[in-house]
Structure 1
Amino acid sequence: MSNWHDELGVFDLETTGIDVETARIVSAHVGRLDDSGRVVERHDWLVDPGVEIPVEATAVHGITTEHARTVGMPAAEAVGEIVATLRILFGRGTPVVAYNAPYDFTLLDREAQRYGVAPLVAPGPIIDPLVIDKAVDKYRSGKRTLALTALFYGVDLTDAHDAGADAIAAGRVAQALARVHAEALAFPAIELHHLQISWCREQAEDFQAYMRREHNPAFTTSGLWPVR
């Protein structure tokens, strides 16, 4: 029987901001890796989001409003293609990796609704290396950004905040996690998906308790995963 990490889809978005309710897609990548982490399929989109790209966002991913308007695909068309490509992977039963999955999948859901595209319904199985890493190595100190986590697991990330580079690196981090924590992650993909729902909720509860205790008694955060 194959392991969940033998073939992985990978998914990442670069956007206009951090608020999933208002941010728009600027670039996207959906691809597929084999069991060695080699890219065997890739789809890339540069998108005209239909709004100004804030300079703060351009500073992160390098895409300007002018470039997106000149070269980018209309947002409605791109969103439809991204959703359709992911739907094919899920339809095959291929696990899809997204680092901090609630951001990408929630934003894609809102964009689909914005443009009248049928959104993904209960997408899965999804593999979120951020949630998994926190679960299997709970007490490791330091931040858990993709760049730092990739470095920790010996995965190259040479062009951070490029959708393709980030997606592929996240997939390879997932495969590294599967090697390093083989016993803890020896589940079928769909079971691991459901475990991450519980893990993310517990992690959010712990973080909320910490923030209320140390900084803001009224702090709240969502533990919903993979779509909020």
Structure 2
Amino acid sequence: MTNLKEALDAAPVQEADTPLSHSWLLGFDTETTGVAAGRDAIVSATLMLRDPQSAHDGDAVGTWIINPHRRMSPGASKVNGFTDAFLAQHGEEPVDAIERIAALIALAQSKRIPLLAYNAPFDVRMLAGDLDRWRLRPMDERLDGRTMLVVDPLLIDRSISRRSGRRTLEYTAEYYGVEPSGDFHDATADTIAAVDLIQPMTTLYPQVGHITLEGLMDWQRNAYATWRDSYNRWLAGRGKAPVRDNWL
């Protein structure tokens, strides 16, 4: 596979009116010590650049195993398989790894290549937490005040599909006919599966494929607000507290 930095250097600067169905994408996934951004930390990450014209054959991938210098929670360790001993022995130092990840994302953003992550707020906020922990430049400074372009297949699926059942990456991939390239809860396998969702989504739902990069963030924010209002009505009917957070 092509070196990720070289591939990003060679990638085109995309126009604002590029439709999602024709856009280059930078897939992103993390495995972490737990689920609390700012408290927990990234232990494994993958970035994968997808050229829409060449699909898998042209993918460029970067992977990292990171020593978080904090303990794995038992629950997270059970899911992703990482142990404190393994990370201490094989993980690279977080300052170096997190800096490289952030720099590559910023390079892609400078070319208007969106960052794609399934349930994107989790991975974006985990990265922000690690940048802050290690006193590295935050993403908004790296982007010179520009809004980060992000694609969230989970959010898109919740907006366009009325299917019932769970919406984990594993179940969503099965629904759209995406074959995994490895075990789920592996950062690389999850990244590839998440990026692979875009082709069937934009084929089945042309209105999604026609979303331009310029309108991408507003479309997703509006979709999230619509979903949140509907979900909160469901919660209220069961006497439960509403969801109050925003997407990105």
Q: Secondary structure at the match of 1:118?
A: coil
C-alpha offsets along residues 65-113 of structure 1, whole Å, 9 cap, x if unaligned?
A: 1010101011222111111111111111112211001111011111111
Q: Report the counterpart of residue 42 of structure 2 in structure 1.
A: 25
Aligned residues: percent identity? 28
Which among 68, 76, 83 is matched to residue 57 of structure 1?
Answer: 76
| Aligned amino acid, residue 194 of structure 2 | A
Ranges in structure 2 where 5+ consecutive residues have no aligned partner: 1-16, 141-145
Which among 197, 200, 204 is matched to residue 180 of structure 1?
Answer: 204
1:48 aligns with 2:70: no
Q: Report the counterpart of residue 143 of structure 1 in structure 2.
A: 166
TM-score using structure 1 length: 0.91
Q: Secondary structure at the match of 1:13?
A: strand
CA contact (8 A) 1:37 1:171 kept: no
C-alpha offsets along residues 151-205 of structure 1, whole Å, 9 cap, x if unaligned?
A: 0001012310111110111001122211111134312123122210111122122
Classify 1:58/1:169 alpha carbon distance in 2 versus 1 (closer, same or farther; 3 Å): same
The range that moved more, 167-176 or 122-131, is 122-131
Q: Distance between the aligned counterparts of 1:37 and 1:223, measured in 2?
A: 35
| Aligned amino acid, residue 103 of structure 1 | F
Q: Report the counterpart of residue 81 of structure 1 in structure 2.
A: 100
Q: Secondary structure at the match of 2:27?
A: strand
CA contact (8 A) 1:32 1:41 kept: yes
CA contact (8 A) 2:18 2:213 kept: no
CA contact (8 A) 2:114 2:150 kept: yes
Q: Distance between the aligned counterparts of 1:134 and 1:87, measured in 2?
A: 28
Q: Secondary structure at the match of 1:109?
A: helix
| Aligned amino acid, residue 183 of structure 1 | Q
Q: Report the counterpart of residue 5 of structure 1 in structure 2.
A: 21
Q: Distance between the aligned counterparts of 2:40 and 2:236, measured in 1?
A: 27
Correspondences of 1:1-228 after superposition (within 5 Å): 3-6=19-22, 7-35=24-52, 36-38=54-56, 39-121=58-140, 123-137=147-161, 139-157=162-180, 158-216=182-240, 219-226=241-248
C-alpha offsets along residues 43-74 of structure 1, whole Å, 9 cap, x if unaligned?
A: 10100011111222111111111010101011
**1:209 deviation in Å?**
2.6
Q: Distance between the aligned counterparts of 1:169 and 1:149, measured in 2?
A: 10
Report the aligned-residue RMSD: 1.7
Ranges in structure 1 where 5+ consecutive residues have no aligned partner: none
Q: Distance between the aligned counterparts of 1:204 and 1:104, measured in 2?
A: 20
